[in-house]
A and B are shown apart, each in its own frame.
Chain A
Amino acid sequence: MALIKINDFSATSVTNFDLDNIFTTDYDVYDIKINSIDMVNTTNAQIKMQFIDTSGSIVNTSTYYRTSFIFNTTNDTWNYSSNQSGTEFNWWLGGAADDTEGMQNITIFEPQNANVYTTGMFNANGWHTSGFVYVQKGGLREDTQQAVRGIRLFSEMDFNSVSATVWGYSKS
């Protein structure tokens, strides 16, 4: 078992950050790691994600399920958060001040298998305008059994700059 780098991606001044042609039959499991990220505004924002199907079209008609724990207060409590009716995955990105958009680590399972739902997990955090770091960990499922070849990341606002690396877990 080894982690194999599949590709590096970077972009500036974009609305959508596409990581296309990253999923192949060579791997079943992928790690997507954001290496740097800067949004145009310093207000709280979400990161959103959709799949790119095998013809290169954005999958925006499906139902994206996201369920997560979120640690998002200053008073020692945690919450459950879910979105079971989205046309994209979404979770908090933060970004309440420069450079505070936090970790965005995403693991995707079997995106090239047309006979299963593509699922995933994510670890994310960021700085909130109310003065705390929130932490969100959860699971993802896209409710159509289809093969997909990439992802699109976007938000309520544009990216000033963003970079990411995609890794595959070797099958042997």
Chain B
Amino acid sequence: MTLGLMRAGLLGGVVKLDTFDLLGSAESTSGTDVYFSLTGLDTSSYSDLKIIIDWNSTGTGVMYGYIRFYDSNGVKTTGYYSLNQLLRSGTDLKSRTQNSDKSFTQESVTYGYPQSIMEIDVSYANTSDNETSWSFNDVINGGAGARVGGGQHRNLDYVLTGVDLYTVPESDSSSRIGAGSNIKVYGYKA
């Protein structure tokens, strides 16, 4: 699904196309979700994606958030995300390497403060020639923390068709994804 941003313009005497397109969006409305999905993306013409996740949580408990991608068959990919990141949260500055978990960005914590914003640039989204590869910037904990990093999905080349935001509230927390949290995916048309 391509929405509205494609247009033609006259620049420098040459007609060129603006081909940075919104491919889809999803919003969590219930206020009780622990995850929400954006699936069915047609990324076949888009080599690079920009994913913007703007989410907040209800309550005041700690929540961990992470991302999963969907492959070309619409199947959630659960194997071998690899990443390196540097995280600043409160007074802590720490880096984290993760090679074999089923997800990535598992330290995306919130403490009930709106909001957390994550920007993920994805390369090789529409090709099986290179493993899907990403770079991310993340504002967490209501702006009290930030993170930069990147990674690859190892041993799995696929055309990306969707993305989920998952959360894991701490065991004694009733916090959930807040209403209005949303994912938007934009594509760079190759």
Contact = CB atoms under 8 A, between A and B. Distances in A.
Interface string A73-109: 1111110000000000000000000011111110000
B135 A132 contact: no
Nearest to A38: B129
Interface residues of B, number: 41
Contacts of A24: 12
Interface of B: 7, 9, 11-12, 16-20, 47-48, 82-86, 94-97, 99, 121, 123-124, 127, 129-131, 133-135, 148-152, 154, 157, 188-190
A115 interface: no
A82 B94 CA distance: 21
A102 B123 CA distance: 8
A34 B123 contact: yes
A7 B172 CA distance: 54
A3 B18 contact: yes
Contacts of B99: 74, 131-133
Interface in A101-134: 101-105, 123, 125-127, 131-134
A132 B149 CA distance: 13
B11 A26 contact: yes
Contacts of B129: 36, 38, 99, 161
Contacts of A78: 84, 86, 95
Interface in A54-83: 69, 71-78
Nearest to B21: A3
A137 interface: yes
Nearest to B99: A132
B84 A2 contact: no
B154 A2 contact: no
Given A2-B9, A99-B129, A137-B148, A77 B47 contact: no
Contacts, number: 142
8 contacts: A26-B11, A69-B148, A71-B150, A105-B135, A123-B150, A131-B99, A132-B82, A132-B97
Q: Which 4 A-B pairs have the closest CB atoms?
A: A71-B84, A135-B150, A35-B47, A103-B123
Contacts of B48: 33, 35, 105, 165
Given A76-B95, A101-B130, 10 more contacts: A2-B18, A24-B12, A26-B12, A69-B148, A105-B121, A125-B135, A127-B152, A132-B84, A135-B149, A165-B190
Interface of A: 2-6, 8, 24, 26, 33-38, 69, 71-78, 99-105, 123, 125-127, 131-135, 137, 161, 163, 165, 167, 170
B95 A35 contact: no
A37 B18 contact: no
Contacts of B149: 71, 135
B129 to A, nearest CB: 4
Given A78-B86, A99-B131, A123 B190 contact: no
Contacts of B11: 4, 26, 170
A74 B100 CA distance: 11
A5 B157 contact: no
B83 A35 contact: no
A124 to B, nearest CB: 8
Contacts of A102: 123, 130-131, 133, 150, 152
